[in-house]
Structure 1
Amino acid sequence: MFFRLRRLLRTAGRDLVVLWYAFRHPDTPGAVKLLSILLALYVFSPIDLVPDALPVLGWLDDATLLAIGIPAILKLMPQSPLLESYGAADRFLSRWIFWRKRS
């Protein structure tokens, strides 16, 4: 269970870093950048469909939207900037010891 959770967090965190580098890439389409901004605005906005004041449900809608939204946005990316973003994200994440895979 712990290893599955760690793998899930590693994948989600990597995709988030890839989306950051893709957002900063000059060849990324404007629609992808706009969707990234809208996703971030919804997650960090105090106005939600389910208020964050509700103990679990308030965070669950944000987590679900991130889990669905980030891969969907990355699928809209052209191949070349996406591969460069994955490379930049892997170089960035390789600096963190907890992120490295065990041999």
Structure 2
Amino acid sequence: MKRIALLWNIVKGDARVLWRALRAPERPVWLVPATALVALYALDPFNLAMPLAGIVDDGIIVPLVMHLMVRCLPAHLREGTLRRA
């Protein structure tokens, strides 16, 4: 149970960093399309054929891709020190 709580805290932190980065004017060009693709993948309606496998799949792949996206962000966006104009 502790591992699930730890994973949830990491996913929440990554989601916050991505949200701040998406709102920043100096965000990378790839961030908006990549976030849209991850959201579409998470909301994929084709999990009806194998519902349990789809839930497990989303629970593993989506957090991993979100974490990878955060790691690929520039340091000033990742650390939350956004430059304000």
> Is 1:3 matched up with 2:2?
yes
Does the 8 Å contact 1:52/1:59 carry over to 2? no
Q: How many residues are matched?
A: 82
> Is 1:15 matched up with 2:11?
no
Work out the CA distance in 2 between the residues paired with 1:79 and 1:17.
Answer: 15
1:35-57 deviation line (CA, Å, top 9, x unaligned): 1111111111314xxx2452420
Aligned residue type for 2:5: R
Give the TM-score taking structure 2 as reference length: 0.78
Q: Which residue number corresponds to residue 25 of structure 1? A: 24
1:10-50 deviation line (CA, Å, top 9, x unaligned): 11221122211211111111112211111111111314xxx
Secondary structure of the residue aligned to 1:30 is: coil
Give the TM-score taking structure 1 as reference length: 0.67
Alpha-carbon distance change, 80 to 8 in structure 1, aligned in 2, over 3 angstroms: same
Q: Which residue number corresponds to residue 88 of structure 1? A: none
Work out the CA distance in 2 between the residues paired with 1:23 and 1:46.
Answer: 25
Structure 1 regions of 5+ residues with no counterpart?
A: 86-103
1:60-86 deviation line (CA, Å, top 9, x unaligned): 12122212200111122111122127x
Structure 2 regions of 5+ residues with no counterpart?
A: none
Q: Which residue number corresponds to residue 35 of structure 2? A: 36
> Is 1:61 matched up with 2:60?
no
Does the 8 Å contact 1:32/1:76 carry over to 2? no
Does the 8 Å contact 1:15/1:71 carry over to 2? yes
Aligned residue type for 1:15: D
Q: Which residue number corresponds to residue 90 of structure 1? A: none
Q: Once superposed, what is the RMSD of the aligned Cα atoms?
A: 2.1
Percent same amino acid at aligned positions? 26
